[in-house]
Each structure stands twice: as structure tokens, then as C-alpha cells.
Amino acid sequence: MKESPSFDHRPDPELGAALRAALEPGTDDAAFVRRVMAQYDNALDRSSVATLDVLASWFRPGMVAAAAALVLGFLFGRTILPAAGGTESIDAAMAPIEGPGLAALVTAQDPPDPSVVFTSLVEPY
């Protein structure tokens, strides 16, 4: 082991061995491996529980958001669309060929009879 005047491309075995001995951990590697693997097992357990927890925690806000979107959509349809599209009657909306069809159905002021709507869907003209 002698002082090199320039950069040496090869490892210094003597210095390397001395440093290795100085940095050697106090406990054996087997104990460390067991410790890491225990953490590995814990992490797997936590991740499977966490997935369910995340899904559960999002269920209630998700339902609220869906309900809010439904109400907003309903309000939007009640307030914005009639102003833009006029106020055709439900009879006009139900007319199969003549008349404004679906747009009229959506913008009608009087709500349609569900049986009429259902019949119009299942019975082709």
C-alpha cells in the first residue's frame, strides 16, 4: 500500500480489508435478513388491509358525489335546457317522426308518464 501520485484504477486490497473490518456490522447478516423479511411480511399484510380500507373510505364520499351529480344534472336540465330549447309538450315529445323528439322530451315542462316512455322504448313503431 503506497501513496499513488495519480488516480489508481485498481482497488487497494489492504486498505479495502482494513475498511471492511472497520465497517463490519456488530451482528451477523442472518439476523439482519430475518429482520428485513419480517418487514416484508408486515408490508404485505398492511398492503392487503390498506386496499380494503381505501375502498371502504371512498365508498361513502363516492355515493355522496354520485347523488350530488344526479341532483346537479336534474337542476341543470330544469333550468338551463328549457330556456334554450323552448317548452314543447310531452305529447309532442312522444310523437315518433314529426316533432322534436328526444330534445322535446328532455325539455318538456310536464314530466312524462313512465308507462308511456317505457312503451315507446319497447314497442317499435
Which residues here bind other proteins, judged by CB under 8 A?
Answer: 1, 3-4, 7-9, 11-12, 14-16, 18-27, 29-30, 32-33, 35-37, 39-41, 43
CB of 70 to other proteins, least distance (A): 39
CA distance to 54, 63, 91, per residue, from 50 (Å):
6, 20, 54
Cβ atoms < 10 Å from Cβ of 27:
9
**Identity of the residue, 39 or 57, whose beta carbon is nearer to other proteins in the bound complex:** 39
CB of 9 to other proteins, least distance (A): 7
**Identity of the residue, 2 or 60, whose beta carbon is nearer to other proteins in the bound complex:** 2
Nearest to 120 by CA among 79, 104, 75: 104
